Amino acid sequence: MKNLFVLPAVAFGLLVGAQNINANEVAVIDAIEVTTPIQDKYIDLAVENLPQTVIDAVSTDYAGAIIESAAAKEDASEFKLLLKQGDKEMEVFCDANGKWISKK
């Protein structure tokens, strides 16, 4: 008779204990950080409208290169140039003072 009373008490204890275990679980949410590259906005620019400092930098550092096309940021603080030197074409970046900018 004693076993008939102990068995339901143990089953009830396990049921209550299992619910406490479930209640103590902590939900872990993985935070996903989404990064989007900031793309610089350039406006097409006529080669004739480039500042003289930029033209001088090209003639000094890329002797014999021809400026195929040019673009500038809206504030004219940076220029993107497409240069052609022989069969080789390259895209270079320059600030308004004629200093080269490395873009990776």
How far apart are alpha carbons 92 and 87 in whole angstroms? 16
> Using an 8 Å Cβ cutoff, are 101 and 82 in contact?
no
What's 42-101's CATH class? alpha beta
Residue with structure tokens 């014999």? Answer: 64
> Using an 8 Å Cβ cutoff, are 71 and 54 in contact?
no
Return the domain boundaries, the chain: 42-101
Reported pTM: 0.60
pLDDT tens digit string along 40-93? Answer: 789 999 999 999 999 999 999 999 999 999 999 999 999 999 999 999 999 999
pLDDT score at 103: 77
Structure tokens at 10: 């143990």
How many Cβ atoms are within 10 Å of 72's Cβ, its own excluded? 21
